[in-house]
Amino acid sequence: MKSDISYLYKPYLHTRELMPENQETPIHFLNERTTPIEYIYKRNHFLYPALDSAAFFLPVVGEVERPMVFPYNYIKSLPSKTIKMVLECAGNKRAYFDPKTYGEQWKDGAISQVAWKGVSLKDLLYFTGIRSTAIEVAFEGYDYGTRKDIDRVFPYARSLPLEKALHPDTIIAYELNSQPIPYDHGYPLRLVVPQWYGMASVKWLKEIRVIDHKFTGPFQAIDYVYYPNKEDDFGKKPVTEIKVNSIIQQPMNYSVLDTGSHSINGIAWSGHGTIKEVELSFDQGLTWKNVELYQDKNQQHLWTFWKYAWTVEEKGEHTIMCRAKDSYGNIQPLEAEWNRKGYGYNAVYIIKVKIE
Amino acid sequence: MKSDISYLYKPYLHTRELMPENQETPIHFLNERTTPIEYIYKRNHFLYPALDSAAFFLPVVGEVERPMVFPYNYIKSLPSKTIKMVLECAGNKRAYFDPKTYGEQWKDGAISQVAWKGVSLKDLLYFTGIRSTAIEVAFEGYDYGTRKDIDRVFPYARSLPLEKALHPDTIIAYELNSQPIPYDHGYPLRLVVPQWYGMASVKWLKEIRVIDHKFTGPFQAIDYVYYPNKEDDFGKKPVTEIKVNSIIQQPMNYSVLDTGSHSINGIAWSGHGTIKEVELSFDQGLTWKNVELYQDKNQQHLWTFWKYAWTVEEKGEHTIMCRAKDSYGNIQPLEAEWNRKGYGYNAVYIIKVKIE
C-alpha cells in the first residue's frame, strides 16, 4: 500500500530544551560504532551563533612568540589526524541524582561516538611558538548570550592546562564523521578534547589565546565545577575527565519480558584508560558475572560494546545491575558522588524487568 | 553560511520502544491546536501489519440483520463527520507512578490533539441493522502477534458497549488532519472513540462484529484494566474514559530561571465534560490561583490551553503545582490511584524550578 516505510521503526533525538537546543542521542536504540550525524546529541548553552567569513580565520594570540591567524583552508592543508572517540556531556545521567539537581534532565543519551578529523593544536602552536609565561590555553566560541546568575553577556569560553592543550590528540577539527562539521555541531572549526567531558570541546571556534593565568570565565569557574555541598562551595573541583561508566541499552528499564533467553547488551566507557571488565549482577550486587566485551584494535577513546545471554525462567520482578571497570582500576560506585550541579553521574546502572 | 536551518530548534518524537514502535509526542514543545502528523504519538502493541486489498473492504457481521461488507470508497461517499479531539494513551504518565509500574515508561507525551474525518459507526449499523440480542460491538485490527503472558497469537481487538458504539461521535475514520490516515496511524480505516483512552480507537480496522456477550480478548480482559492491588485482581475495573488531567508545558521540571516575569503555560483535558478551571499553587497546595483558559467554541473533545504570568523575585527552589477541574466537578487528586498496570495517572502536576 505504502512503499516508503523508512520512517517506521526510526528513533529520534530526545528533546530536552529547544532554545537553546538540547537534545539527547536515542542511545538505547543505536548499535552503530559511529553515531550517525542525525543522532549525535546536541548540547548548547546559547542560541546558534550567526557566522560570517571571519569564522574561517582562526587567530592564535596571547602568550605566543608570533600571533597568527590561520585560514580554514590552510588548517585543512596541514597533516591531519582522525580521532574516533566518545563525546559525553558532563551532565549526562543528571536525572538520576538523588536528591535531584537542577539543569537539563539528561538521562542516558548525552553521549555519542564520533570521528573527528583535524589538526593537532600543538602543530598550530608550533607555528606561533609559546612564551615561557604560558600556563593555559583559552578557547572562545562564537556562541554567546546572557546567564541566569550574572546579568551580563558572555561568550562560551573555556581553557585547558598547557599539558592537555599540547596533547597530540587535542585537535582543531574541521570534519565530523567524514564530512564538514555540521553547523549545529560547531562548523567550521571546533576544538576537540578526547577523554574530557564535552564542555571542553568548544564549538564555532573564534579565538585561541595562550594565557599566563588561570582562566576564570563562568563556564569554567561557575559551571562545570563539582560542588559537593548544597549550600556552599566548599571542596569544589573542576570537571575534567570522563568517569568510568556504562549503561544497559536493552532491555529497557521496567519492560516486560517472557521467560526464556534474552540478550542483555550495552556500552561502557572511561575517559582515562580503556574498559577492562563489565559485570552484571542479578542478586542486588551480591555476585557479579563477567560479560563479553567487543572492542576495536584502536580502542583508546572508544566505548566498549558488551553483551550477555540471560536465561530466565522465574516469573516476577528482576533487578539487573551493571558496572564497568577501566584499565586504571576505576570502577563504577554503588552511589554516585552527589554534586550540586549534577555532573559526572556514574553509579552502577540498575534496571528492573518483569518476567511474565 | 548555511541557508537551510529548518532542522534547528526542532523537537522530535521521543522513542520509548522501536519494535513495536512506541514514541511520545514532544508535548512540552508544541503549541499548535492540532498536533502536526509527524508529532502524533505512536502506541503499537505489535509490529506494523502487512495490508492487502482486503483492508479496503470492511465487514460488519455478527448480531446484525444483514451482514455487509463496506468498501472504503463507499464509506468515503457517506455523509462525513469531523471530530477534533484529544487522543491519549491510557498509559500516559505511567512513569510517575510510585511504586513504579511495568510497561512503556511514558511521561507526558502519550497524548496528541487530532482531527479525524469519517462516518458515524451508527450510520453503518443502520444499514446492517442490529439484532435485539446485541450487547457489544467488537473491533479487530489487522495488527497481531504474540503476548508475553499467553503463548498464542492474538490480533489487537477490543469492544465497546452498544451505547458507546452508537454514539454519533464514535466514527470509522479515513482522514487524519485532513489527509488519508497515515499507515502508522491506522490506514485505511480506524475506529475513533472520543472521550475514551486511545486503546479503544482500533487501528487498521479489519472487522466489526456485533456480539451478544461480553468481549474477552486479552486487550480488554487482561490489559487496559485497573488492578488496584499488586498481587491479586481484586477490585479490578475496565479502563474507559479519559480522566481529568493537566500538565505544565513550560517551564520544564528542574529548570533554572532568572528573577522577574515568566510565563507558565500548559494544557488541561478531561474525557468527560470540559475543563472549567485550572489552578496553580506556589505554596505546596495551601492556596491555589486561577489561570487563564483558552478554549474553542467547539471545545467538547479538545484540550484547554492555559497560561499564567508569574513574577518571582525570591531566589532559590520553587515548587509549582497544577490541577484541573472539569464540568462534572472531577478534579485532579494529590495522589494518583495506583494500579498494577499503570493506567490513568492524573495526580496534580508538580514541577520544581530554581531561581538564580
What pLDDT sits at residue A3? Answer: 57
How much is the average pLDDT of A203-232? 98
Task: List the strands of the sheet with A260-269, edge to edge.
Answer: A245-250, A260-269, A304-312, A292-294
The Cβ of residue A49 has, within 10 Å, a number of other Cβ atoms equal to 18
pLDDT in tens, A301-339: 999 999 999 999 999 999 999 999 999 999 999 999 999
DSSP per-residue codes, A19-80: TTTEEE--GGG---SS--GGGS-EE-SSSPPP--GGGGEEEEEES-SS-EEEEHHHHHHSPP
**Distances in whole angstroms, Cα of residue B25 to Cα of each of A81, B39, B259:** 41, 5, 30
Picking from B255, B263, B345 by the largest number of A CB atoms within 10 A of its own CB, the best residue to mutate is B255
pLDDT in tens, B305-317: 999 999 999 999 9
A318 to chain B: closest CA residue: B102
d(CA A229, CA B164): 57
pLDDT in tens, B12-43: 999 999 999 999 999 999 999 999 999 999 99
Instruction: Name the pLDDT band for B4 (thresholds 50, 70, 90).
Output: confident
CB A321 within 8 A of CB A284: yes
Supply the mean pLDDT for chain A: 97
Q: Which of residues 185 through 224 in chain A touch B, CB cutoff 8 A?
A: 187-188
What pLDDT sits at residue B5? Answer: 81
Q: Tell whether the model's pLDDT for residue B254 goes beyond 80.
A: yes
Residue A221: φ, ψ to 5° = -95, -20
Contact B102 A29 (CB under 8 A): no
Q: Which of residues 112 through 171 in chain A touch B, CB cutoff 8 A?
A: 148-149
Q: Tell whether the model's pLDDT for residue B1 goes beyond 70.
A: no
Q: Tell whether the model's pLDDT for residue A206 goes beyond 50.
A: yes
Q: What percent of chain A has pLDDT over 70?
A: 99
Instruction: Name the pLDDT band for A294 (thresholds 50, 70, 90).
Output: very high
Contacting residues of A for B183, CB less than 8 Å apart: 1-2, 5, 8
Instruction: Name the pLDDT band for A4 (thresholds 50, 70, 90).
Output: confident
Cis peptide bond N-terminal to A251, omega within 30: yes
d(CA B106, CA B95): 6
| A329 Cβ neighbours under 8 A, 6+ residues apart | none
How much is the average pLDDT of B320-343? 98
What pLDDT sits at residue B136? Answer: 98
Q: What percent of chain B has pLDDT over 70?
A: 99
Q: What percent of chain B has pLDDT over 90?
A: 96
d(CA B19, CA A11): 11
CB-facing half-sphere around the CA of A304: CA atoms within 13 A: 29
Q: Tell whether the model's pLDDT for residue A6 goes beyond 90.
A: no
In angstroms, what separates the C-alpha of A305 from chain B's closest C-alpha? 20
How much is the average pLDDT of A80-86? 98
Contact A257 B7 (CB under 8 A): no
A294 Cβ under 8 Å from any chain B Cβ: no
**Distances in whole angstroms, Cα of residue A64 to Cα of each of A67, A111, A113, A134:** 6, 35, 34, 8
pLDDT in tens, A340-349: 999 999 999 9
The three cell numbers of residue B316 are: 532559590
What pLDDT sits at residue B45? Answer: 98
B50 to chain A: closest CA residue: A1
Picking from A72, A256, A320, A345 by the largest number of B CB atoms within 10 A of its own CB, the best residue to mutate is A256
Rounded to 5 degrees, what angle do the CA atoms A77, A81, A86 make? 135
The three cell numbers of residue B296 are: 474553542
Q: Tell whether the model's pLDDT for residue B3 goes beyond 60.
A: no
Task: List the strands of the sheet with B136-146, edge to edge.
Answer: B68-71, B57-62, B205-211, B136-146, B153-161
Beta pairing, strands B349-355 & B255-257: parallel
Residue B244: φ, ψ to 5° = -60, 135
In angstroms, what separates the C-alpha of A224 from chain B's closest C-alpha? 15
B254 Cβ under 8 Å from any chain A Cβ: yes
What pLDDT sits at residue A1? Answer: 46
CB-facing half-sphere around the CA of A198: CA atoms within 13 A: 24
Rounded to 5 degrees, what angle do the CA atoms B210, B214, B216 make? 105
How much is the average pLDDT of A51-65? 98
The three cell numbers of residue B10 are: 526542532
Contact A254 B101 (CB under 8 A): yes
CB B33 within 8 A of CB B114: no
pLDDT in tens, B139-172: 999 999 999 889 899 999 999 999 999 999 999 9
Q: Tell whether the model's pLDDT for residue B292 goes beyond 70.
A: yes
Beta pairing, strands A255-257 & A349-355: parallel
CB-facing half-sphere around the CA of B80: CA atoms within 13 A: 16
In angstroms, what separates the C-alpha of B8 from chain A's closest C-alpha? 8
Domains, chain B, ranges and CATH?
14-238 (3.90.420.10), 245-355 (2.60.40.650)
d(CA A116, CA A193): 10
pLDDT in tens, B189-205: 999 999 999 999 999 99
Contacting residues of B for A255, CB less than 8 Å apart: 17, 102-103
What pLDDT sits at residue B342? Answer: 98
CB A311 within 8 A of CB A260: yes
ipTM of the complex: 0.95
Helix or strand run (H / E) with residue A338: none
What pLDDT sits at residue B63? Answer: 98
d(CA A286, CA B266): 46
**Distances in whole angstroms, Cα of residue B156 to Cα of each of A301, B143, B206, B210:** 46, 6, 10, 17
Q: For chain A, how big is the Rg over CA atoms in Å?
A: 21
Q: Tell whether the model's pLDDT for residue A136 goes beyond 80.
A: yes
Instruction: Name the pLDDT band for B242 (thresholds 50, 70, 90).
Output: very high
Q: Tell whether the model's pLDDT for residue B138 goes beyond 90.
A: yes
